[in-house]
A and B are shown apart, each in its own frame.
Chain A
Amino acid sequence: MITFPWITTLTAVPLFGALTVLALGGRNKVLARWTALLFSLISLVLTLILWHSFSTVADGYQFQELHRWIPSLNVDYRVGIDGLGLLMLLLSCIVVPIGMLASWHIEKRVPLYFSLMLVLQSCLFGTFTALNFFHWFIFWELSLVPAFFLIKLWGGPNSAKAAMQFLIYTMVGSVAMLMSFLAIYLATKTFDLTELGQLAQNDKLMPAVIGELGWHLFTPHHTAMVIFLGAFLGFAVKVPLLPFHTWLPSAYSEAPSGTTILLTGAMSKMGLYGFLRILLPLFGAQMQQILTPLLWLAVATVIFSAYAALAQTDLKRIFAYSSINHLGYCLLGIFAVVKITGGDATLTAQKYAAMNGVFLQMFNHGLTAATLFWFVAMLEQRTGGLRGLNDFGGLRKVIPVFTGLMGITIFSSLGLPGLNGFIGEFLIFEGTFPLVTWAAALSVLGLMITAIFFLGTLQRVFYGPLEENWAHLPDLTLSERLALIPTIGLMFTLGLYPQFILGVINHTAIQMALQLRNF
Chain B
Amino acid sequence: MNWIVRNLWLVPVLPLLAAGISALAKRKSRAMAASLAIGSMAISFLLSVWAFAHVLLLRSNGQATQQVFNFRWFQFGNEWLSLGWILNPLTAVMLVMVTFVGMLIFIYSVGYMEHDDNFTRFFCFLALFASAMLGVVIANNLLLLFMCWEIVGLTSYLLIGFWYEKPSAAAASKKAFITTRIGDLPFFLGIVWLYAQSGTLLFYNNGAGCLESTSINHLLTQPTPLGFCSATGIALLVFCGAIGKSGQFPLHVWLPDAMEGPTPVSALIHAATMVAAGVFLVARVYPLMSAHSGIATELTTSTALQAVTWIGAITALFGAVIAVAQFDIKRILAYSTVSQLGYMMMGLGVGGVAVGMFHLITHAFFKSLLFLGAGSVIHGCSGEQDIRRMGGLRKLMPFTFATYTVGMLALCGFPFFFSGFWSKDEILHAAHSWNISQAPYYMGAFAALLTAFYMSRQMFYIFGGKSRLTESSEGHSHSPVSPDHSSHHGSNSPHESPKVMTVPLMLLAPVALLLGFFGTPAWPWFQSFLDATQLAVDFGALSEGSMLPVMLSSSVIVLLGLGIGWWIYGRRPIKSAEAPDNLGKLSPPLFTFLGHAFYVDALYGATVINLNTQLSKISDWLDRWIWNGAVKTVTNIVLGLAHLDNFLDTHVVNSGFDEGCQSVSRSGQILSLLQAGRIQGYLKIVAGAGIAFTLLLLWKAKI
Contacts and interface: CB of A to CB of B under 8 A. Distances in A.
Given A141-B689, A160-B677, A503 B75 contact: yes
Contacts of A28: none
A386 interface: no
A314 interface: no
A441 B189 contact: yes
- The CB with the most chain A CB atoms within 10 A, among B146, B177, B682, B683, is that of B682
B628 interface: yes
Interface residues of B, number: 69
B79 A349 contact: yes
Contacts of A459: 170-171, 174
Interface in B184-240: 185, 188-189, 192-193, 195-196, 199
B164 A462 contact: yes
Interface stretch (B442-450, B555-563, B566-574, B695-703): B695-703
A246 B674 contact: no
Nearest to A71: B701
A402 interface: no
Interface string A343-377: 00010111111001100000000000000000000
Contacts of A152: 679
Interface string A461-475: 011111000000000
B602 interface: no
Contact of A433 (B79, B161, B192): B192
Interface stretch (B29-37, B320-328, B425-433, B614-622): B614-622
A16 B165 CA distance: 51
Contacts of A348: 77
Contacts of B148: 417
Task: Choose among A145, A308, A346, A456 the residue with the greatest number of B CB atoms under 10 Å from its CB.
Answer: A308
B-side interface mostly: helix
B293 interface: no
Nearest to A75: B697
A346 B150 contact: no
A509 B690 CA distance: 33
Given A178-B689, A182-B696, A465-B480, A418 B151 contact: yes
B43 interface: no
Interface of B: 73-79, 143, 146-148, 150-151, 154, 157, 161, 164-167, 169-171, 173-174, 177-178, 181-182, 185, 188-189, 192-193, 195-196, 199, 480, 612-613, 615-620, 622-623, 626-628, 630-631, 635, 674, 677, 679, 682-683, 685-686, 689-690, 693, 696-698, 700-701
B630 A506 contact: no
A422 B147 contact: yes
Given A464-B165, A466-B165, 20 more contacts: A171-B685, A182-B696, A246-B631, A308-B620, A311-B619, A353-B77, A356-B76, A417-B151, A426-B143, A429-B188, A433-B196, A440-B189, A447-B185, A455-B178, A463-B161, A463-B167, A463-B170, A463-B173, A498-B73, A502-B74
A502 B75 contact: yes
Contact of A145 (B620, B686, B701): B686
Contacts of B628: 246
Nearest to B27: A400
9 contacts: A246-B623, A346-B196, A352-B76, A356-B76, A459-B174, A498-B73, A499-B74, A510-B77, A510-B78
A465 B170 CA distance: 10
B612 A310 contact: yes
Given A72-B701, A141-B689, A433-B192, A499 B75 contact: yes
A75 B697 CA distance: 10
A245 B627 contact: yes
Contact of A427 (B76, B147, B178, B682): B76
A226 interface: no
A430 B620 contact: no
B77 A352 contact: yes
A149 B631 CA distance: 23
Contacts of B696: 182
A346 B198 CA distance: 10
Pick the 8 closest A-B CB pairs, nearest first: A352-B77, A417-B147, A463-B170, A307-B619, A311-B620, A434-B196, A310-B616, A499-B74
A167 B77 contact: no
A426 B76 CA distance: 12
A73 B151 contact: no
Nearest to A70: B697
A241 to B, nearest CB: 11
B195 A394 contact: no
Given A433-B196, A459-B170, A353 B189 contact: no
A455 B181 CA distance: 12
Interface string A120-155: 000000000000000000100110110011001000
Contacts of B166: 464
A389 to B, nearest CB: 13
A310 to B, nearest CB: 4
Contacts of B75: 499, 502-503, 506
B27 to A, nearest CB: 8
A66 interface: no
Contacts of B77: 348-349, 351-353, 356, 506, 509-510
